[in-house]
Structure 1
Amino acid sequence: MNVRVRTAVLFDFGGVLTTSVVTAFEELGTEIADDPELLLRLLSKDEESSALLVAHEEGRIKESEFENGLAARLRAHGAPVEGPGLVRRIQTGLRPDPDMITLVATLRAEGRRVGLLSNSLGDRCYDGFDLPGMFDAVTVSGEIGVRKPSRRAYAVACERLGVRPEDTVMVDDLPQNIVAAERLGIAGVVHRDAPTTAAGLAKLLAPPSADGRSGPRRS
């Protein structure tokens, strides 16, 4: 039987509050090279491309440097593409998920602490989202200099949210990010769609009390 004791939730951004990041990469790979796996393959298996992504997500290089470096790697693999606007082309494939945005608002209205923990991509990846209005705390990798799956990223997010890791649930579309969160004591829900994520959270979160605040921790 699940013991519901958690009182706070951290949400990832891309692929959780938006449509699938993987699909967005696949769409651009198809567009530029007729190869849906190209971008994903480079960012996960090509050492130079992976290093560029990590450096950008940690705020060590700007969007333009990341774009130009990734474009050079794409050209080296047969895709005739230029850097400027490359990140924006990826982001065009990401659309808000209204059901997940509603879920965030519902949890917060119930009195739970709700935060964002996101690996940043580009200077304008959060355009169209009122993050300070949606969340009690916002933690973005490029601003703190460390990215998921680093334990420090989760620790900073919990500190900003004012909660302990053991009181918190992380919602992320990447299983490896959930595994990393669990090492710090954070429970995890691998996001696939809003209904299954809501059901997963219901098993982990303490029920709200009558006054709209999260219920007491149970032993």
Structure 2
Amino acid sequence: MSEGAAEALRLFAWLSPGYPVGAYAYSHGLEAAVEAGDVTDEASLAGWLEDVCERGSLRNDLILAAHAHGAAGRPGDLAAINDLALALAPSRELHLETSQQGRSFLDATLGAWPCAALSAVARVLDGPVAYPVAVGAAAGAHGMAAGPVLGTYALAFVQNLVSAALRSAPVGQAAGTRVVAALAPRLTPLAEAARAAGLDEIGSACLRLDLGSFRHETQYSRIFRS
């Protein structure tokens, strides 16, 4: 097996639904959007996800992951990027979502795919870790190319939210698959742009997601942690 093929398999394992980060427990505000009537069918789900990807948290995550990838061998820079990523979480639930998954990802990866560079990363990130920072830094420590990491991260993000929609919104599996297929071609240019973006280009225009996340903390009926 070629090195590139082995790297791809490792990346698929890291970002698969079965990786022990607890992604299934989070909807990233989608459950609140369903409750508010913002997501009611396939079309509204696609529109909501498009905004989150291109004007919200996925774009920010990709920028943070790209910078963490490049800073894997620079402890001071990596710690600063992680502090920024955690500070960007607009609500308690979204902070929990990124920090719990990030900590779980880094611990699981260090246990299953150990290397000296990743051990050095773990010493720097020994407290709460933002999920995109954990993924980017682990990939950088293993010498993996940034482009495939960001693209696969983006697809996994979309697939996880579509999975959440199947459990919380009136959207079936066929519709969810169409949403993933429609958004997939937009993820590669989004990832490419993130690689060239500076940290000062981080920003979000998804205010209803942020407000919905605050409301979700006291939502009467819910199945997700965010």
TM-score (norm 1): 0.31
Indicate the structure whose relative CO is greater, using CA pairs within 8 Å and at least 6 residues apart.
2
Point out the structure with the larger helix share.
2
TM-score (norm 2): 0.30
Instruction: Kindly name which structure, 1 or 2, has the bigger radius of gyration based on alpha carbons.
Output: 1
